[in-house]
Amino acid sequence: MLPVFLGIDTSCYTTSLALVDEQGTLLVEKRMILPVPLGEQGLRQSTALFYHLRNLPMVMQEVFSVLNGRELKVIAVSAKPLPHENSYLPVFTAGLSLAESLSAVLGIPLLKTSHQEGHLAAGVWSCAKQPGDEFLGIHFSGGTTELLLIKEKLQPHLSYESKVLGKSQDLHAGQLVDRVGVALGLPFPAGRYLEKLAAEVDNKDEFHGDIKIPSSVQGYNISFSGAETLAKKYLQQGVPPQEIARATENCLAVTVEKVIRKAIEDTGVKKVLFVGGVMANSYIRKRLCKRLEHPAVGAELYFPKPEYNSDNAVGVSLIARSMYHSLDNRRNNKIN
């Protein structure tokens, strides 16, 4: 029977399962976005946990329906948000409980990884070109805002030795997008709606597009609380929502540019991978390409397909696959 590998991820707003085969080909993935009432800025962890427990049987049924003659060999699960000892969020216990149950019943190995490592694995996998074994990583999402120096390790399984160079001191990048978006009357999560709204300022004379929301970066330390306050102040002053949305995008792009320029100068590493839902924004991507791939900077930018920037279990399933190959290599070495 052909081997397959299961990834499970239960983040703050998405229930995700994915299966890949031995070649790393994605066989199936299923995501269910947790519902957030219009006007709300998020969910309580207890409410999100309830939705995950409700969603998992439905998601699992759809994913397992494609097994047909294939044998599940390894399960990997995002057991925590970040690859740090004390990293924890209750929502990840939903996926962990399912993974531990399946592992025990089926008698197959279980690998506990982190949500961030899943993002990195999915990002590298879905890029048109590979960043290699050392690169900078920008993880901008609703729950994480970090600049990382990353070295890929293949033993004992696919993982990433990462050093945090900088992070947000208050709001995360995705929180800024969502809070500004909700204030503008957009649904939560607001990312794709804010991008669509901001695009209305292009090539239209009625929008001046000259308001600014300054970025706040000290060294590698990032702050977005002032940006939120200013965006809401502009709204109260009657500034068109489209211009506020575009100013928010510019604030995020300038923030990323500043920390990457410093990191390149400090480390000499010029390859940069972008993961997390905020980095799916096409306007921000284009601006970063124009500014950072300029010969004066010389950065090499790696953007995953936008659908793999948002929360998914694909990277987690790829980590399961790499564990299987690692175990297989060990068995072969013992035989030889």
Is position 155 within any domain?
Answer: no
Which has the closest alpha carbon to 289: 267, 258, 257?
257
Give the pair of three-digit tokens for residue 151.
């070295």
Structural domain containing residue 297 = 173-303
Spatial separation of the C-alpha atoms in residues 212 and 246, rounded to whole Å? 9
Identify whether residues 290 and 319 lie together within a single domain.
no
Residue 202 is predicted with a pLDDT of 87
DSSP, collapsed to helix, strand or coil, labels residue 154 as coil
Those residues whose C-beta lies under 8 Å from the C-beta of residue 21, and which sit 6 or more positions away, are 2, 3, 4, 5, 27, 70
Q: How far apart are CA 313 and CA 319, in angstroms?
A: 10
Strand bridging mode 2-10 / 14-21: antiparallel
Given this model, what pLDDT does residue 208 score?
65
**What pLDDT sits at residue 336?**
41
163: in domain: no
Domain identity same for 21 and 105: yes
Residues 198, 297: one domain?
yes
3-class state of residue 147 by DSSP: strand
Beta carbons of 51 and 86 less than 8 angstroms apart: no
The answer to whether 154 and 165 are in contact (CB under 8 A) is no
| pTM (two decimals) | 0.92
Give the list of residues 6+ apart from residue 41 with CB closer than 8 angstroms, or none.
178, 179, 182, 188
243 and 321 part of one domain: no
- The one-letter amino acid at 163: K
The answer to whether 278 and 140 have CB atoms below 8 angstroms apart is yes
Q: Where are the alpha helices (DSSP H) in 127-281?
A: 173-183, 191-198, 225-236, 241-267
Residues 113 and 9 in one domain: yes
The answer to the question of residue 319 being in a domain is yes
User: Cα 14 vs. chain centroid, distance in angstroms?
Assistant: 11
- The reply to whether 103 falls in a domain is yes
pLDDT of residue 302: 97
Per-residue pLDDT of the chain (336 residues; tens, 9 = 90+): 899 999 999 999 999 999 999 999 999 999 999 999 988 989 999 999 999 999 999 999 999 999 888 999 999 999 999 998 899 999 999 999 999 999 999 999 999 999 999 999 999 999 989 898 899 999 999 999 999 999 876 554 556 789 999 999 999 999 999 999 999 999 999 999 999 999 999 867 666 667 999 999 999 999 999 999 999 999 999 999 999 999 999 999 999 999 999 999 999 999 999 999 999 999 999 999 999 999 999 999 999 999 999 999 999 999 999 888 765 554 444 444
Q: Is 151 domain-assigned? A: no
What's the domain count of the chain?
Answer: 2
Question: Is 282 in the same domain as 317?
Answer: no
Q: Is the peptide bond before 189 cis (omega within 30 degrees of 0)?
A: yes
- Do 31 and 79 fall within a single domain? yes
pLDDT on residue 68: 87
Looking at the domain assignment, is residue 214 inside a domain?
yes
Pair 97, 121 in one domain: yes
Whether 110 and 206 map to the same domain: the answer is no
Measured distance CA(336)–CA(331) in Å, rounded: 9
Which three-class secondary structure state does DSSP give residue 155? coil
pLDDT value at residue 240:
94
Both 210 and 288 in one domain: the answer is yes
Q: For residue 167, give the nearest of 230, 82, 44 by alpha carbon.
A: 82
Is residue 145 in a domain?
no
Token pair for 200: 């209305």
Same domain, 81 and 21: yes
Residues 237 and 220 both lie in one domain: yes
Question: Where does the chain have alpha helices with state H?
Answer: 45-64, 92-106, 115-126, 173-183, 191-198, 225-236, 241-267, 282-292, 314-335
| CATH code, 87 | 3.30.420.40
Residue 136 lies in a domain: no
